[in-house]
């Protein structure tokens, strides 16, 4: 029982901190409406969190693959758009595998032209590209009015229980928190 209570407190504390920082950042997205289409493109982190994401964001459409690098984001989005209208919200959770550059983000933003909200989830991965990837994502939020960030890096720091032994794939509680952070950003 004590573990469950601690888990709930952790999730609530991070959720409150994130919601507060999102409001303070001056982001003024349209309020979330459950009829909006939300599409997520991701890698193994999203694959592992699929059940949690589907539980907290009703109707979310996920395209996640193990080992997917950021350079595959544009083809994944183009595949979706070839048979579907533009989503209202695009969640991009890539960068764990080989990182992401400003140029790759710019290419994705060209493909995502017309999408109201593009939400990037930054990374926590003990690899040389972690800082550069998170910096490129942060810079994108400064350059594009429709870009928002879920700060997984900041929210997951200092808590080894959120990760498996590799230090970057979330544990069950980590996947739950990761999904809740995304849901909070979508619904804020």
Which region holds residue 95: left if phi is over 0, alpha if psi is between -120 and 50, else beta? left
pLDDT of res. 32: 74
**Angstrom distances, CA of residue 71 to CA of 11, 99, 156, 173:** 31, 9, 25, 29
pLDDT of res. 8: 47
Strand order in the sheet with 89-93: 61-64, 38-42, 89-93, 117-121, 147-150
CA distance 188 to 183: 8
- Would you kindly state where each structural domain of the chain is located, as residue ranges? 2-187
Q: Are strands 117-121 and 147-150 parallel, antiparallel or unpaired?
A: parallel
Within 10 angstroms of residue 152's Cβ, the number of other Cβ atoms is 24
CA distance 101 to 179: 24
In 46-104, beta strands by DSSP E: 61-64, 89-93
Residue-level pLDDT, tens digit, the chain, 188 residues: 556 445 544 554 544 444 434 433 444 445 678 889 999 999 999 999 999 999 999 999 999 999 999 999 999 999 999 999 999 999 999 999 999 999 999 999 999 999 999 999 999 999 999 999 999 999 999 999 999 999 999 999 999 999 999 999 999 999 999 999 999 999 98
- Classified by CATH at the fold level, domain 2-187 comes out as Rossmann fold (3.40.50)
Q: Give the predicted TM-score (pTM) of the model.
A: 0.86
Angle (deg, nearest 10), helices 102-111 and 130-143: 40
**What positions carry a catalytic annotation?**
44, 166, 169
In the chain, beta strands by DSSP E: 38-42, 61-64, 89-93, 117-121, 147-150
DSSP 27: -
Q: Are strands 117-121 and 89-93 parallel, antiparallel or unpaired?
A: parallel
């Amino acid at each position: 029982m004590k573990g469950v209570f601690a888990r709930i407190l952790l999730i609530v504390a991070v959720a409150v901190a994130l919601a507060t920082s999102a409001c303070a950042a001056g982001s003024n997205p349209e309020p979330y409406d459950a009829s909006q289409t939300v599409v997520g493109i991701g890698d193994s982190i999203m694959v592992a969190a699929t059940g949690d994401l589907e539980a907290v964001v009703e109707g979310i459409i996920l395209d996640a693959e193990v080992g997917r690098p950021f350079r595959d984001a544009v083809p994944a989005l183009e595949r979706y758009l070839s048979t579907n209208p533009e989503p209202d919200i695009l969640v991009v959770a890539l960068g764990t595998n080989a990182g992401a550059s400003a140029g790759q983000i710019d290419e994705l933003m060209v493909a995502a032209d017309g999408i109201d909200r593009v939400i990037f989830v930054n990374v926590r991965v003990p690899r040389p590209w972690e800082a550069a990837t998170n910096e490129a994502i942060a810079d994108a939020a400064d350059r594009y009015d429709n870009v928002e960030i879920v700060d997984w890096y900041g929210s997951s720091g200092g808590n080894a229980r959120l990760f498996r032994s590799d230090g970057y794939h979330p544990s069950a509680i980590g996947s739950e928190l990761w999904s809740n952070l995304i849901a909070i950003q979508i619904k804020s």
